[in-house]
Structure 1
Amino acid sequence: MSTNDNQPASNFIRQIIANDLKDNKNNGKVVTRFPPEPNGYLHIGHAKSICLNFGIAAENNGRCNLRFDDTNPEKESDEYVEAIKRDVQWLGFEWSELHHASDYFEQLYDYAVQLIEQGQAYVDSLSAEQIREYRGTLTEPGKESPDRSRPIAENLDLFKRMRAGEFADGQYVLRAKIDMASPNINMRDPALYRIRRVHHQRTGNDWCIYPMYDYTHCISDALEGITHSLCTLEFEDHRPLYDWVLDQVKTPSHPQQIEFARLQLEYTIVSKRKLNQLVTEKHVGGWDDPRMPTIAGLRRAGFTPKSIRDFCERIGLTKQNSWIEMGVLEYCIREDLNDNAPRAMAVLQPLRVVIDNYPEDQTEQLEVGNHPQKPELGKRIVPFSKVILIERDDFAEIPPPKFKRLVAGGEVRLRGSYVIQCNEIIKDADGNITELRCSYDPDTLGKNPEGRKVKGVIHWVSEQHSQPAELRLYNRLFSVPNPDNEENFLDAINPESLEVLTDCRVEASLANPQPESRYQFERTGYFCFDAIDSVNGKLVFNRTVTLRDNWEKD
């Protein structure tokens, strides 16, 4: 069954598959795959592909494999493999089968030999620079390599010796023999194998030649019985090569490649190379930094699997690239957390309030609802005592117009508690307010006596019972909608993407939160408990999103 809560909307891929099932194509089967390269953490663009591939399979009682495209070991690692598996499962999906492209290295080699024997591949001694030069341009055809007419027996011998490690890196490549005059540059004798002496995380040093992605991907799909190979639009021009390879070699099936527009989200980048640069140059705290568009970063920021799945469903599938406003993603998490996150009180910039007429040694255990619209989420105990802390911004000695919080001589209601009145302002030698002296009305617990109107409601915590906490106010990492358009994308980093508040206090009920616990801090925003950095008794909460969209449209 689908992991989406609502019936998924129709799109052109669902329609293609519906027609295939109607025609009993592929014997009525739907088999998809999600094929990431383990050279970095997954990002929000991958989430769209994950939801599509796993969702399409689930909707049609089919199967979806997770397959790692591990053909470029220089940039790949087991860390990335494990991170990808975690992210897919966290999003709510389970793969039918787990594969690696390296599972097929021997078969891929055999198919390459078959192409050589059929006269459809040859070993080329041109350098990478010469190959680019010979390839031609979009308006001019390429020219054939001098090695293109090399005899089949010689090609087989050289390819065997390439595998045996007799040649230096880059000395030879194996190329498909297709058409150097093709209007599609991808069909101008593309490389199939290159020599590269790199230790592979799974096969060790067994191989010193590695297959290229375009060659590997289609054969891997065919070996796994994939029926619909769903990929993003940049692979549309590669589809003729995908089909050509499968038409030449004797694989058990011939999957259908279908392209869709990739996710382009404003105020982010999704280039793994650039994301890696952000990490290695320490512009962020790591791949899971809450400002990163990685799934791990979104998770640590407090995004829920449901909100990301909902976002991917909302933006839909098209054949036309377009930009998605960040506000759409933020709307999805606000909607989810508004419905499901329990409320709590946190004071970010504390101002001390002493209630003079409250007993010195008394503490009341007040019951406060966890959600104003969901009584089924229960209640929590919030201690109330003589000294409380309120937000410094919730008091004004000289209030601006329409200020409905606490003022000198004025009254305000404490959330879930009493009405207090400010009677005296205490200042230090420099004139800074350090404390308020107030009184409370014991007859106002949870109510307004008849004829008394108190409009303002503020949050608070008991000084004695509250917990010290660090609150990290995350914002968009980039200050422009499309940082990729900048001459240097690093120049577009938002200098105010993180504000760390170290003197915050949170209510007593948050003393021992569970990892990834999410809350709406009253009147402040949605926050997630950061179990990674909450060590040695320190509490850290990351802001997921503000209560409202604070970004104006450009």
Structure 2
Amino acid sequence: MGKTSTKQKIAATELNAIIRKCAIINAMQYGKAVSSAVMGPVVQMAKENNLPITDIKKDVDLMVKNINKMTKTDLEGAYAPFKTEVEQKKLKKAKETALPNMILEGVTKGNFIGRIPPEPSGYLHVGHAKQAILNAEFAKIYAGQVNLFIDDTNPDKEKQEYVDSIIRDIKWLGINYTKIYYASDNVEVVYAYARKLIEKGKAYVCMCEQAEIKERRVSGADCKHKGQSISENNVLFEDMVNKKFKEGKAILRYKGDMNSQNAVMRDPVLVRIIEAPHYRQGNKYRAWPLYDLSTPILDSLNGVTDIIRSKEFAMREELGQTLLNELGLRVPRMHQEARLNIRGNVTQKRVITKLVTDKVIDGWDDPRLMTLMALKRRGVRPNAIWAFVLKFGMSRNDGTVGLEMLMAENKKIIEPMAKHLFFVKDPRPLEIVNLTQKIVKLKLNPNSDKDHREYTVGSKLYISEDDAVKLKVGSIVRLKDLVDVKILNVSEQGLVGETIDQEIDKKDNIIQWVSSENMQKCKMLVPNTLVNNKGEVLPNSLTIWVGFVESYVNNLKEHEIIQFERVGYVILDKKDSLQFIFISK
């Protein structure tokens, strides 16, 4: 008997040490320890050490409570014995998971310069974020750098507001680029290389109609202008540069192979005429280089060593490499990665523009979208997007994933810091006949005794319609952190109940509530799946909830993230009208 008791005491001591260790590590990682996050590692370590685990929730809750009372200095001191072990485990996990998908062939430390190449013809979405984050992460891994390249040689589509948005979003993601440069600032440089191609007999000016160009590309027949002399092409190109041709009347083409298996190599267009004024250059230019000519040249001249691009552009790699070889310029290493598709969403500018124009969605920051401005508005944190992207690494396998994967990463970040409040949707009155006015002190976070909100509560309360419909005469319900109530009457006007002082063995529900003396009316936007698998907008893609929230809401800052208990995480979108946006459960 004595031996068994001693063993139990030893096991309890060891288990307590494990709980303490896991709580300290969790607190160091997230600022505050959270019981639900500590429980998993405790159970795992207990099993590894063959320790009995029956009911440890109370022990975990108590330990978390005590750890969260520590000062920062005390916490760091308590963490010190575990620091090396934690870092070694983190490094091992990184090698086992991230590194196999985060290796670029041919790259060595100190030999990486990447670039983020958005075109300012729209707003960045999560797909752009993937490429930007991969470039930035490889710059860290290989002790290199990443630049921001604004690919702006199409005056018809580009605007300064898009440039401003791109710069703002890249900074919001936490990406520090070394320099920013614009394609439109380098048009003269690209002209010089276009002239070299003409001099080498590798480019010619075509004046065919668009329909004829398309027909010959299909048939494999050479353009009738392909045989022009170098001097003729020189004159015609200068006429293009000097605005002597109207839009659509002349283009500069590469002399490729009209029978190439790669359709991109069938005499592709290098420079075309666009008469619209440019957002940055005004009317300075009319002959605008295309991406296929401008970008490879500027990549090479700006020292870019590695290009990460979606594998859908693989066919264009041959053209870029061919042009650089013809011009005697260095060819960067090419790396292909898969597109990041999120189920039930759209990222195409054309589709989103129509949805905005038709007033189907509220704008480019509508919380149903995957634009970065929409995700930011919805309360998705930048480091959640990083974690989400790096889960896939440099995968070349196309796939569609659910938004819940991103939201799971986001929850890890917002959960420890979110204040907890009560919200009741579609409120129903509840009068508690024997509840005298009292002062109630409620925790702002269930894992901390530090901060509270305090109310004077009387007999008139409100509960959610969803909870009210489940109650009947005789039901016993717990009003969270307040009292136990027995329902005496249910009618269309509301519910009537009385407090019960004795211990209750079983309660039908634990529900949230708001006091009629301390509440505010509010609205919540609940984004749902935007489109079905056919791309059709779903009628219930946005739900609007109305209800009451406790008056502490007046102390919140606009865009602050909180948790409505039993509802989920929300962000205060507009403080003046008390409009919230639902983030996730």
Name the TM-score, length of structure 1 as normaliser.
0.84
Per-residue Cα deviation, 1:476-508 (whole angstroms, up to 9, x for no partner): 111x2x3xxx3xx3xx21101112234x11112
8 Å Cα contact 2:440-2:482 kept in structure 1? no
2:185 is matched with which residue? 103
- Measure, in 1, the Cα distance between the counterparts of 2:298 and 2:554: 50
Match of 2:374 among 297, 307, 311: 297
- Measure, in 1, the Cα distance between the counterparts of 2:450 and 2:206: 68
1:550 is matched with which residue? none
Offset, 1:376:
7.6
1:309 is matched with which residue? 386
- Measure, in 2, the Cα distance between the counterparts of 1:310 and 1:493: 29
8 Å Cα contact 1:337-1:520 kept in structure 2? no
Does the C-alpha gap of structure 1 residues 242 and 437 become closer, same or farther in structure 2, counting only changes over 3 Å? same
- Measure, in 1, the Cα distance between the counterparts of 2:130 and 2:102: 15
Residue 76 in 1 paired to residue 158 in 2? yes
8 Å Cα contact 1:315-1:324 kept in structure 2? no
- Measure, in 2, the Cα distance between the counterparts of 1:104 and 1:12: 38
Offset, 1:12:
6.4
Residue 263 in 1 paired to residue 350 in 2? no
1:170 is matched with which residue? 248
2:522 is matched with which residue? 469
Q: What is the aligned length?
A: 493
Q: Quick one: which amino acid aligns to residue 483 of structure 2?
A: Y
1:516 is matched with which residue? 559
Match of 2:224 among 137, 143, 146: 146
Per-residue Cα deviation, 1:61-114 (whole angstroms, up to 9, x for no partner): 211111111111211111111111222122222221111111211101111111
Offset, 1:156:
1.0
Residue 42 in 1 paired to residue 95 in 2? no
User: Per residue, is there more helix in 1 or in 2?
Assistant: 2
Question: Percent same amino acid among aligned pairs?
Answer: 33
- Measure, in 1, the Cα distance between the counterparts of 2:304 and 2:101: 15
Of 516-525 and 222-231, the range deviating more from structure 2: 516-525
1:20 is matched with which residue? 107
Aligned pairs for 1:308-347 (under 5 A) are: 308-347=385-424
2:38 is matched with which residue? none
Q: What is the root-mean-square deviation in Å for CA atoms of aligned residues?
A: 2.2
Does the C-alpha gap of structure 1 residues 383 and 230 become closer, same or farther in structure 2, counting only changes over 3 Å? farther
Q: Structure 1: which 4+ aligned runs deviate by more than 4 Å? A: 449-453
- Measure, in 2, the Cα distance between the counterparts of 1:13 and 1:115: 39
- Measure, in 1, the Cα distance between the counterparts of 2:147 and 2:557: 32
Match of 2:311 among 222, 233, 249: 233
Residue 460 in 1 paired to residue 460 in 2? no
- Measure, in 2, the Cα distance between the counterparts of 1:526 and 1:343: 9
Q: Quick one: which amino acid aligns to residue 387 of structure 1?
A: K
2:499 is matched with which residue? 440
Residue 415 in 1 paired to residue 480 in 2? yes
Name structure 1 gaps, 5 residues minimum: 23-27, 400-405, 428-432, 444-448, 548-554
- Measure, in 1, the Cα distance between the counterparts of 2:339 and 2:332: 21
Offset, 1:437:
2.2
8 Å Cα contact 1:348-1:471 kept in structure 2? no
Offset, 1:214:
1.1
8 Å Cα contact 1:269-1:293 kept in structure 2? yes
Does the C-alpha gap of structure 1 residues 282 and 82 become closer, same or farther in structure 2, counting only changes over 3 Å? same
8 Å Cα contact 1:124-1:172 kept in structure 2? yes
- Measure, in 2, the Cα distance between the counterparts of 1:497 and 1:87: 25
- Measure, in 2, the Cα distance between the counterparts of 1:97 and 1:364: 58
- Measure, in 2, the Cα distance between the counterparts of 1:515 and 1:309: 24
Name the TM-score, length of structure 2 as normaliser.
0.80
1:52 is matched with which residue? 134
8 Å Cα contact 1:369-1:379 kept in structure 2? yes
Aligned pairs for 1:363-374 (under 5 A) are: 363-370=438-445, 372=446, 374=447
2:542 is matched with which residue? 498
1:392 is matched with which residue? 465
2:578 is matched with which residue? 539
- Measure, in 2, the Cα distance between the counterparts of 1:276 and 1:12: 39
8 Å Cα contact 1:473-1:500 kept in structure 2? yes
- Measure, in 1, the Cα distance between the counterparts of 2:503 and 2:423: 31
- Measure, in 1, the Cα distance between the counterparts of 2:411 and 2:456: 29
Does the C-alpha gap of structure 1 residues 476 and 358 become closer, same or farther in structure 2, counting only changes over 3 Å? same
Q: Quick one: which amino acid aligns to residue 457 of structure 2?
A: F
